[in-house]
Structure 1
């Protein structure tokens, strides 16, 4: 297993290396990996089994987030934009993490999401109508990304229509930065682009804070800019930017990844696809199985605050610990027949939204988006025929299809309504 290179991004561009992760679960469920181009002894523990991942996630005091949620460490640079990243919600620990999370949770709770369902379905219809009119499309840019970008950045956060392409670009770029190792052939170009983009994103966040403070609108950024602390004081610009960074970078990627991989997976499992199209009541369980099957976020990293023994393996204070969600979601100790894609799966405690204190804040919204889009897809009996090769992201962090040229076809067998 020592010849497995977690930093070989070309390997991940062929798909998540599930065979390698399965061997780790069997032979080395907690394994040590060196980091290329780092000082001797620098590395991380890869945690492959579901129960061990959950044990790490449930103990944020022992396995903290502030050092970084990815393998590269946060860099302490005296610039407010870097502070925005360092103090992003996913990088915070108790008590600050819990306090800030509680402030924004109502905006992503059941009541708020219920109020959005009409507009979310409207966006799903608009996106599919447009795609079908074009006929020959890139399924990623025309459906999988376009839909959540419009919903989350536009309808939820309140970005102007003309800013949506920039928002999507920022999200894509900084997720690439999270994954790319020093020495990779794309490292220099990506880092240069991210430096330019970071300044633009920071200035956009500051302008959003100031404009929403002066003139609130009906969007989440306005709520955040005018929210109050327990002592009655208004939220600071710094705390607002911490939220803004986390929402802007993590706003749509999980949903976009699951939409694209969901289409591809259904096409690769025609019996499952036809069962879904014949019985729309399976959509909810099908969405959960799509999330498990092609886990959109491959891992999150924590750092040990003290010595700890995890499933018999001694972990030392200061060492990186990587929770490999993609591996945990194929763990046979938890999932029956984990290597089978089953839209009828009932017991499905997947880790695709994380686990514990950092469970994804937008999980409810993502599930509604996915359910509504696939309801409309099923209603149209929509299928696709590939017209060119599919391309995947070169990333060990985000599992995502980035290009999928197809021709859309509708069987027009039935007409259904979910309104």
Structure 2
């Protein structure tokens, strides 16, 4: 679906400038409030899918949505929706049939010891934007909705974008229910313990959006270094994620000669070195990362019998991702053969590069010019839920600067002034699509 079929025409006016009482919107204070759910001793936030902190945060958000005049509801996956109902049915769609809502939002799960802005900013801004529009402009013509997606990071289970994948129908519970976290808890157990799943009584996750708009921190240095307030995302990189397993033979560290060893960890280390070399040779913008390594039996005086490492490959062109993976797999196989090791791999994620909707991005550009906000069109090097939504509904992303480009870290920070600039753009865009003729 490439054309943005929204009944707000191209000539629809935006709200009169300046937006009334915008300075009273307390974005930072609500972000600080949300960060108390999962606050850790390292100064960051840890909210993993279906854990206690995550559950408390989602339910607290549901209560907050209700307090702000929205209608909250969960689905079976644990995605939370706050709805501002419109008063118009779909033109040409039949009497009483509601138009698909215009939706904004992001995710509330975090990485371990993450920051308070990643994902949460888009959720909080969405809640406050709908409250602002309701208070100042009344009932919209078209239904507007904010979604607090249950999961995006893949930090607990080896599967990312569960929230958006379940909504779009890209994945179902049967595909992930067998996955286990590091404590051995299955996905099926975790979703049930959190009060969700097919027997929870909540509605099914899959449904239709009229459009999806995601406001997000950049998580990089481009906007800050170039001095721009807004990044209008042109496309989102594709990526592949793998678990690579190397199997050798456990043996005594003192009595086994080096040349006779089948050392799984030594083999994995050489493979990881090959990852860096191949990525550097491929050149920018390709990036490849090994972020997790485990070894068994994990004893200092025993040769490792098994080693597992993660692999993440990203690029804006699918052919470059595929070629890099094949080069790495060839190198891994060669190393395994040379050291008499067994090699296995499992692909956990494969997402193609995705361009954003041209009409919505053009409207974002018009808003930036009207608001006199400096902007650039830029790709996103990080994956986002927007790349899952774009194939099924018109989708766009708005970036605001990240200080020093730091993210997935307690030091993650965006100045309140920059948060508010992104908020202004979101409010104007939702007004156009929700209140326009």
Larger helix percent: 1
Shorter-chain TM-score: what band?
under 0.3
Normalising by structure 1, report the TM-score. Answer: 0.26
Q: Which of structures 1 and 2 has the bigger CA Rg?
A: 2
Larger strand percent: 2
Q: Which has the higher contact order (CA 8 A, sep 6+)?
A: 1
